[in-house]
Amino acid sequence: MSTVSLEQQKKMHPHKFTLWVAIGSIVMMFAGLTSAFIVKSNQTGWKSVDLPKAFYISTAVILISSITFQVALGFFKNREMNKYRSMMGITLLLGVAFVVLQWFGFQDLWAQGITFKGSGAGQFLYVIFGLHAIHVVGGIITLLVMFIKAFVGKTKLYSSVPIEVAAVYWHFVDFLWIYLLVFFLIIGG
């Protein structure tokens, strides 16, 4: 193998680099929001929130979806396309289930009278969890496109880069959700 070829293998793919830059930006945004939560929580009139059960169930769902996505990636790399398609379909369904469970959680909060009015953790919860949900919806759209391509596209090169990038992003939103849930359990409770 030539020296140039070895050098190219050591370089990070541009899509992966772009993903890591985006992840860094998202981390900074959520770090700022959770820091603002801590500062505001020391003000008088602050009201804590008990998290709905739907948020705990959705945590299990998104954890399982990360596992199914990783399994799908393995199937793709082994060129087992039928198994890959199945696992991507399951991951997509689990992603949608996560968003639906989040919606039920927000409805429960609203029914408890936790709205945007007043001072308290509820306002932050809507903003922070809502922003996370938007990032998950972006991941679901990516999953949907990949799922469709798995059935209608012709795979010639078997480049796993797009799937690897999507998997890293999906694992990231999974990890981010767990961080946010633990943050609200420890700091927000």
Asked if residues 36 and 124 have their Cβ atoms less than 8 Å apart, the reply is: yes
pLDDT at 65: 97
Residue 83 has pLDDT above 90, yes or no: yes
Which H or E run contains 135? Answer: helix 121-152
Domains contained in the chain, CATH given: 3-186 (1.20.120.80)
Residue 25 phi/psi, 5-degree rounding, is: -65, -45
| Residues whose CB is less than 8 angstroms from the CB of residue 7 and which lie 6 or more positions away in sequence, other chains included | none
Least confident of 25-39, 80-94, 153-167, 171-185: 153-167
What angle do the packed helices 53-77 and 161-186 form, to 10 degrees?
160
pLDDT band at 122 (very low <50, low <70, confident <90, very high): confident
The percent of residues above 70 in pLDDT, for the chain, comes to 90
Which H or E run contains 157? Answer: none
pLDDT at 4: 52
Residue 11 DSSP code: S
Buried b (16+ CB within 10 A) or exposed e, 60-76: ebbebbbebbebbbebb
Name the residue type at position 161: V
pLDDT at 161: 86
pLDDT at 69: 96
Give the mean model confidence (pLDDT) for residues 50-58: 92
Asked if residues 69 and 171 have their Cβ atoms less than 8 Å apart, the reply is: yes
Mean pLDDT of all residues belonging to the chain: 86
Q: How many CB atoms lie within 10 A of CB 96?
A: 17
pLDDT at 91: 96
